[in-house]
Structure 1
Amino acid sequence: MIVSVAETAAPAAHAAMPKPSLVGRTRSGLAEALNEIGVPEKERRMRVGQLWNWIYHYGVRDFAAMTTIGKGLRAALAERFSLDLPEVTAEQVSTDGTRKWLIRMAPTGPRDRGAEIECVYIPEMDRGTLCVSSQVGCTLTCTFCHTGTQRLVRNLTTEEIVAQLMVARDRLGDFPNRSAPDGAFVPNDGGRFVSNIVFMGMGEPLYNFDGVRDAIEVITDNEGLSLGRRRITVSTSGVVPQIGPLGAEMGTMLAISLHAVRDELRNELVPLNRKYPIAELLEACRSYPGLSNAKRITFEYVMLKGVNDSDAEARELVRLLKGIPAKINLIPFNPWPGTRYECSDWDRIERFSEIVFRAGYASPVRTPRGRDILAACGQLKSETEKLSARARLMLDQDETAAAAQAAH
């Protein structure tokens, strides 16, 4: 069930634009904001540090709470800017604790409703993982992926990527002096609720390279959100030219959405393979900066019944990855409305995993999470769009009826 937490009807065409938010901005972005309100250049670095601490360490939502900043500057900031987070328009909580949010970004113009994306929080005993999106929709058309059925609208900005983590920490009570909601995973080692981030939500991260890179700079800054780079994984469907720069400029963990061991099949499942076939992709992986047994690449392999789950394909997978420090994530397919694929039988998945494991590779089978809350990527957005469409239709019908009554 989708719990709507915001009005679904479109806003008035001429509604006032909200003040720009400082949440999600880089240090240089905060400096630009201070410049706009006339803060002298020699003072900006100190003020940026103060804003950074209040926004990213404490997660404050009101300039008045920034007690280390003078009242005059606080008033000037509040007049020109806000500390608003994107709007959560729908929220689902699974029986296993997984939380899924549909997040509406601030509008970019008077007739813009604001782009909507998905963000998922997965609590586990030893970690809390946040799955974030990098695009609105997706530029790729992977046939097993629900998001692949949704057209690409645009890249998310750096601020919009960072804001997903801010929304999650805000709703989980994951800032200092905030309480956690009932049912939330509570770390027992003094850690944070969100301890890991995976760029595995909507979109292809390496087609939004600059936005993702700058967001990671904000997220890993030790004076703010302070997540280690090895706790961040960027997943790609195989944008080969950007894999090396990803390692050199971001230093994160790498995940590859492989899903097939033959070009013919991968061309179908992951059409990007026609541009960057398996051999080129694996060569880029072998030269990934910092690659070692301590920094292995994760290869994601969705298990599709009768498509890519044979013993022969398991053995070929082992052969292809020879010499690459790797972990192989076997993912039971999560069906979504309209798909032609089915999940492999459990005994077939276990047999596939056994072959890979005996060859010396860790091959965990990812435990399906949140299946009761439309866990397939893109489903919450699609279902909410249907609700929004119905709401707009009802609004149009009400306006038509009112106009007809007025005419009489």
Structure 2
Amino acid sequence: MNTAQSISTLAQDATLQGEAVPKTVQTNSSKANLLGMTRAELEAFFEQMGEKKFRAGQVMKWIHQFGVTDFADMTNISGKLREKLVNIAEVQAPEVVHRHYSKDGTRKWVFRVGEGEGSLVETVLIPADDKTGARKTLCISSQVGCALDCSFCSTGKQGFQRDLTPAEIIGQLWVANQSYMEDVPVGDRTRTVTNVVMMGMGEPLLNFDPVVASMSLMLDDFAYGMSKRRVTLSTSGVVPMIDKLAQTIDVALAISLHAPNDPLRNELVPINKKYPLEQLIAACQRYIAKDGNESSRKHITVEYVMLDGVNDKAEHAQQLLKLLKDLPSKINLIPFNPFPHAPYGRSSRNRIMAFQKTLSDAGFVCTIRQTRGDDIDAACGQLVGQVADRTRRAEKWKQKVASQHNEILRTQSD
């Protein structure tokens, strides 16, 4: 996911827009950051201190459910232990450099996760109402930038900088959850975010251990207590890591498919050259077949961005039906959100509706994702890792687009 607007500009404009920036100041402390520790890690931490393991659950509740970062406020812990913790530990979320709340309820945060202009990531929360009530879905980033270079994604054009740590990943959820609790007394605070999708910047399966640690916190009853089917990991198709994920944690799986045949997917999602569709579909089938799939593995969510004249034709819909015929799937059609120099356009509404009808008539559950947060550049496909392009990929890409445009003009003039 990616944004057409520069993150650094957003951060500079925050004060002009009257947005209060939360005081989550990043430090260079050598203290242990408890925010990203799983329950097992916290239990080991307390045992090494000579304390009982149950302290881990107590501290996790204070941090993740009540949003408390000051050990002095953790009142069911002895004063002596609190003094120890002050000296050797901290609870430190990534620094918020910008936040903006849309008129439609969408919320976006920009986090600084290192030195330099490029060490920034974005997180978007999208509210909606469903049959279970008010749903708040948080789209979380796992890397600064992305190495996979999908042709329709502007994050990929910024190149890859580094993986996020567990504290930087779960910290996005911590900040989003507490944004609804800022004026609520500690004892009355609740876990507000209902769903998490690992669909932000980066390829989650290429940052496997920190992502799994973060998702285990999302599922842990001492932290966020989310249902397995409400935590979704989205991958572009790193086949060996899909199999590893199946053996490691039980969460829902989404595939960034975007094309129904190998030649087209090779162009749109280059990792397909290494793990073509036959291998990807087989991995998805193995994921569903894994024991213990009662809640989160009944189906695969298929994400399909609609690109005008590229992958949205009637024959593409038929190819998609053939590809997914033996894979229990829910298909999510995503209207493309253009960004500067993008070589694609958004499919027309009529074309998207016709594509949906073909899939629905064949028995698939097929939805069209509603675009949200346009006024704050938070729509799907508009998260961008900005702007210190260490690989110079974005510049090379812009030059390529300009060259292709000039060649078209030259041909027309001939």
Q: Same fold (TM over 0.5)?
A: yes
Equivalent pair of 2:302/2:330 in contact (CA under 8 Å) = yes
Give the counterpart of 1:84 among 64, 78, 92. 92
Equivalent pair of 2:155/2:385 in contact (CA under 8 Å) = no
Residue deviations 1:222-271 (CA, integer Å, cap 9, x gap) = 12211111111111101111112222321111101110112111111000
The residue correspondences of 1:14-163 to structure 2 (distance < 5 A) are 17=29, 19-31=31-43, 33-34=45-46, 39-40=49-50, 43-105=51-113, 107=114, 115-126=119-130, 127-163=135-171
Change (3 A) 1:20 1:272: same
Does 1:252 pair with 2:270? no
Q: State the shift of 1:381 in Å.
A: 4.4
Equivalent pair of 1:259/1:302 in contact (CA under 8 Å) = yes
Q: State the shift of 1:373 in Å.
A: 1.4
Q: 1:269 corresponds to which residue?
A: 268
Q: State the shift of 1:156 in Å.
A: 1.2
Equivalent pair of 2:145/2:385 in contact (CA under 8 Å) = no
Q: What is the rounded CA distance, in whole Å, between the counterparts of 1:279 and 1:381 in structure 2?
A: 31
Residue deviations 1:14-65 (CA, integer Å, cap 9, x gap) = x9647443212123433454467xx31xx23132222122112222121111
Q: 2:224 corresponds to which residue?
A: 225
Q: State the shift of 1:78 in Å.
A: 1.3
Equivalent pair of 2:33/2:167 in contact (CA under 8 Å) = no
Q: What is the rounded CA distance, in whole Å, between the counterparts of 1:47 and 1:69 in structure 2?
A: 8
Equivalent pair of 1:260/1:301 in contact (CA under 8 Å) = yes
Does 1:242 pair with 2:254? no
Q: What is the rounded CA distance, in whole Å, between the counterparts of 2:104 and 2:242 in structure 1?
A: 34
Q: What is the rounded CA distance, in whole Å, between the counterparts of 1:132 and 1:174 in structure 2?
A: 21
Q: 2:14 corresponds to which residue?
A: 3
Q: 1:403 corresponds to which residue?
A: none
Q: What is the rounded CA distance, in whole Å, between the counterparts of 1:86 and 1:285 in structure 2?
A: 33
Greater RCO, CA 8 A, separation 6+: 2
SS of structure 1 residue aligned to 2:284:
helix
Q: State the shift of 1:326 in Å.
A: 0.5
Q: 1:362 corresponds to which residue?
A: 365
Choose 334-343 or 288-297, whichever is displaced more: 288-297
The residue correspondences of 1:310-349 to structure 2 (distance < 5 A) are 310-349=313-352
Q: What is the rounded CA distance, in whole Å, between the counterparts of 1:318 and 1:380 in structure 2?
A: 32
Equivalent pair of 1:143/1:270 in contact (CA under 8 Å) = yes
Q: What is the rounded CA distance, in whole Å, between the counterparts of 1:218 and 1:137 in structure 2?
A: 24
Choose 237-246 or 22-31, whichever is displaced more: 22-31
Q: State the shift of 1:345 in Å.
A: 0.5
The residue correspondences of 1:365-384 to structure 2 (distance < 5 A) are 365-375=368-378, 376-377=380-381, 379=383, 381-382=385-386
Change (3 A) 1:115 1:81: farther
* TM-score, normalisation: structure 2: 0.80
Q: What is the rounded CA distance, in whole Å, between the counterparts of 2:195 and 2:220 in structure 1?
A: 14
Choose 362-371 or 47-56, whichever is displaced more: 47-56
What is the identity, as a one-letter code, of the residue corresponding to 2:121?
Answer: I
Residue deviations 1:352-382 (CA, integer Å, cap 9, x gap) = 0000000000110000111221225564643
Equivalent pair of 2:196/2:230 in contact (CA under 8 Å) = yes
Runs (5+) with no aligned partner, structure 1: 181-189, 387-408
Does 1:306 pair with 2:317? no
* TM-score, normalisation: structure 1: 0.81
Q: What is the rounded CA distance, in whole Å, between the counterparts of 1:32 and 1:113 in structure 2?
A: 36
Q: State the shift of 1:171 in Å.
A: 1.4
Number of aligned residues: 362
Q: State the shift of 1:79 in Å.
A: 2.4
Root mean square deviation, CA, Å: 2.8
Q: What is the rounded CA distance, in whole Å, between the counterparts of 1:179 and 1:341 in structure 2?
A: 50
